[in-house]
Chains A and B, each alone.
Chain A
Amino acid sequence: MLRVLQTLFGLLAVAFLMLPILAILPLAFTSSVFLTYPIPSWSLRWFEELATADAWRMSIVNSLIVGAGATVLSTLLGTLAALGLRGRVLPLAGVFRTLFLLPMVVPAVVLGVGMQIFLARLGLGSSYTGVILAHTVLCVPFVVVSVSASLQGIDPTVERAAMSLGAPPATVFRLVTLPLALPGVVSGAVFAFATSLDEVVITLFVAGPNQRTLARQMFSSIRENISPTVAAAALLLIVGTLCLAGLAALLRRRDKRLIAASAP
């Protein structure tokens, strides 16, 4: 009886989370110009619109540019931060860690306003560099968390063993620490990319018309004319994110296996 209730509750929770997404997706394939049910007949015209209309096409390209830039930058910075915070050798390491994670909890509007002023002062307002930098700030915490978890799983005696076998510090990092932390780095990068992909608020503040990202374009298209292109774009985002999340989960599983193996 309890089992049945548990299963039922679980299903309800999943439904609560998934239904809004499931409700919008079929509309991507509607032939109607309205984003409403019932669907008169099936069509791919909105995907065609995505691929051909300049505003949409450009926004997809922009999202990829900004996403790639922010991912590379935040993965690099986040990994370095996680390495620096490792082992608590740094004084005030706890304070630094909190600071690095702050962008996760600070309201996006606050960050957005601050960044708009800051980037304008630097002469980076309405530029790709500016948007990439702003997104990087938002993505770094995900990388720090993911890489830190990965580093924590590395047995320090393994690195000591490498040193005693003749490896100088840089080589220990290259041949032992980095390969063992790699799954964390990759899954951090995936999170970073996904975060950049669906970021709207900060983009609203710092991006000019030329840096309009897909999420930003969806947002304004909903305000201006609710066309089913939004649903098609949403499907694109969801499928892309799911693929990346699947990849991250796969890597984490491999990571866990390796780490379970290194502890006797």
Chain B
Amino acid sequence: MQPFIQFESVSKAFGPLTVVDNLDLGIAKGEFLSLLGPSGSGKTTILMMLAGFERPTSGTIHLGGKRIDHLPPHRRQMGVVFQNYALFPHMTVAENVAFPLRMQRLPRAEIDRRVERALDMVRLGALKDRRPSQLSGGQQQRVALTRALVFEPDVILMDEPLGALDKQLREHMQIEIRDLHRRLGLTIVFVTHDQTEALTMSDRIGVFNAGRIEQLDAPHAVYDTPRSRFVAQFIGETNLMEGRVAALEDATATVIVEGLPLRVRRTDGLALGQEVSLSLRPERIRLGADSVGGNLLPVTISDCVYHGDHMRVQLASGPLGLVARCERLAGDWAVGTPVTAGFDPADLTVLAR
């Protein structure tokens, strides 16, 4: 099936600098897709090309089967929510929300009705005659969101919309946006550099680095089975180890890391003698009496930090250093105590180098 939005070999260069490099990306109708990456990875440029503020240097963009990359922004039917809200400072809340409906030349009475309904939906009805300057950041963002939704656009584009809000408000807005997405069946493309935001909100995450997609997957897949060192390091915390494949068995393989044999799940294309990286999430390591699984390592505790709901434990095994995250510690472990660290072969993700 043809995806709702289709990028086909889209590149964008600013002078000698290639910001988006030969991108192929399909987005399904009703999907919540996050574009995640460090600044300068091209994610915002992709959004701007979709909105029509930038033109691709080469390649095509289709929306619902129609080519749109040459259309000006006002003919694309996309609601855009900007990081700094971009409300019209000289208009009231109601006038801001009415703006897209006025552009569609709807009758006055219908505009009023829809503005009122939309503002009530986000509980801003009482503030409709205020100017944006008289609203808090969270309220301004809700107005911006309402303004982008009210004309029922095909797609909602969000450019780090929650970046300027404090943590508590951000989490509240995340829930609100997810709820709107589910209730209205919206197609949302969401740009963020906040991995937690991407993990909690999206149907799929596209992880970008240097203008290319490193991985495009469901949140759990991006986290549990990262496909590159970049993805493993960018999303969440991880232990990266360098090693060499020493033996291949039926379902497992053995990788030697710093002289220690570690058993990993055998994947296609793994060859004897191949240099690989292993990624191991800190919470997958279990210590002491809890340690079970295919890999048991004798380690010593080199540091232990209390974080309230969990402990971060630094482990050392010869030259190899690891970070473990434990909910509780079985026993009293001072720095320098020798313990056993255990982890499953399935929790070691093998990455090509």
Enumerate chain A interface residues (CB-CB to B < 8 A).
Answer: 155, 157-158, 160-169, 171, 175-176, 179-180, 257-264
Task: For A162, list chain B residues within 8 Å (CB).
Answer: 88, 99
Asked whether A167 and B88 contact (CB < 8 A) given A160-B80, A262-B132, A264-B164, the answer is no
Q: Are the CB atoms of A258 and B90 closer together than 8 Å?
A: yes
B4 at the interface (CB under 8 A from A): no
Q: B63-80: which have CB < 8 Å to A?
A: 72-74, 76-80
Asked whether A163 and B52 contact (CB < 8 A) given A176-B88, A261-B133, A264-B85, the answer is yes
Task: For A161, list chain B residues within 8 Å (CB).
Answer: 80, 82, 86-88, 144, 147
Report the nearest A residue to B80, measured CB to CB.
Answer: A164
B104 at the interface (CB under 8 A from A): yes
Q: Are the CB atoms of A163 and B86 closer together than 8 Å?
A: no
Asked whether A261 and B132 contact (CB < 8 A) given A155-B86, A166-B104, A180-B89, the answer is yes
Q: Are the CB atoms of B100 and A166 closer together than 8 Å?
A: yes
Q: Are the CB atoms of A180 and B133 closer together than 8 Å?
A: no
Task: For B285, list chain A residues within 8 Å (CB).
Answer: none
Asked whether A164 and B132 contact (CB < 8 A) given A157-B86, A263-B84, the answer is no
Q: For B78, give its contact among A158, A164, A261 (CB under 8 Å).
A: A164
Asked whether A158 and B89 contact (CB < 8 A) given A166-B103, A261-B132, the answer is yes
Q: Are the CB atoms of A260 and B133 closer together than 8 Å?
A: yes
| CB of A183, distance to nearest CB on chain B (Å) | 10
Q: For A168, give its contact among B72, B79, B140 (CB under 8 Å).
A: B72
| CB of B164, distance to nearest CB on chain A (Å) | 5
B230 at the interface (CB under 8 A from A): no
Q: For A163, give its contact among B74, B84, B85, B89 (CB under 8 Å).
A: B74
Task: For A171, list chain B residues within 8 Å (CB).
Answer: 103
B261 at the interface (CB under 8 A from A): no
Task: For B144, list chain A residues within 8 Å (CB).
Answer: 161
B151 at the interface (CB under 8 A from A): yes
Interface size on B, residues (CB 8 A): 35
Q: For B131, give its contact among A157, A180, A259, A261 (CB under 8 Å).
A: A261
B333 at the interface (CB under 8 A from A): no
B345 at the interface (CB under 8 A from A): no
Q: Are the CB atoms of B151 and A164 closer together than 8 Å?
A: no
Chain B 143-169 interface 0/1 with A at a Cβ cutoff of 8 Å (1 = within):
010011001000001000000100000
A selection of 16 A-B contacts at a CB cut-off of 8 Å is A160-B80, A160-B86, A161-B87, A164-B74, A164-B148, A165-B148, A166-B77, A166-B151, A167-B103, A175-B99, A260-B133, A261-B89, A261-B131, A261-B134, A264-B85, A264-B140
Task: For B90, list chain A residues within 8 Å (CB).
Answer: 179-180, 258
Report the nearest B residue to A157, measured CB to CB.
Answer: B86
| CB of B307, distance to nearest CB on chain A (Å) | 32
| CB of B232, distance to nearest CB on chain A (Å) | 34
Enumerate chain B interface residues (CB-CB to A < 8 A).
Answer: 51-53, 72-74, 76-80, 82, 84-90, 99-100, 103-104, 131-134, 137, 140, 144, 147-148, 151, 157, 164
Q: Are the CB atoms of A264 and B137 closer together than 8 Å?
A: yes
Task: For A164, list chain B residues within 8 Å (CB).
Answer: 51-52, 73-74, 76, 78-80, 148, 157
| CB of A49, distance to nearest CB on chain B (Å) | 47
Q: For B89, give its contact among A160, A169, A175, A258 (CB under 8 Å).
A: A258
Task: For A180, list chain B residues within 8 Å (CB).
Answer: 89-90
| CB of A210, distance to nearest CB on chain B (Å) | 44
Q: Are the CB atoms of B53 and A160 closer together than 8 Å?
A: yes
| CB of B138, distance to nearest CB on chain A (Å) | 11
Asked whether A163 and B73 contact (CB < 8 A) given A176-B88, A263-B84, the answer is yes
Task: For A263, list chain B residues within 8 Å (CB).
Answer: 84
Report the nearest A residue to B105, measured CB to CB.
Answer: A166
Task: For B147, list chain A residues within 8 Å (CB).
Answer: 161, 165
Per the bound structure, the CA–CA distance linking A182 and B99 in Å amounts to: 20
| CB of B54, distance to nearest CB on chain A (Å) | 11
Per the bound structure, the CA–CA distance linking A260 and B157 in Å amounts to: 26
Q: Are the CB atoms of B74 and A166 closer together than 8 Å?
A: yes
Task: For B133, list chain A residues within 8 Å (CB).
Answer: 257-258, 260-262
Report the nearest B residue to A172, measured CB to CB.
Answer: B74
Per the bound structure, the CA–CA distance linking A168 and B73 in Å amounts to: 8
Task: For A168, list chain B residues within 8 Å (CB).
Answer: 72, 74
Per the bound structure, the CA–CA distance linking A155 and B88 in Å amounts to: 10
Q: For A165, give its contact among B100, B134, B164 (CB under 8 Å).
A: B100
Task: For B99, list chain A residues within 8 Å (CB).
Answer: 162, 165, 167, 175
Task: For B76, list chain A residues within 8 Å (CB).
Answer: 164
Report the nearest B residue to A160, measured CB to CB.
Answer: B53
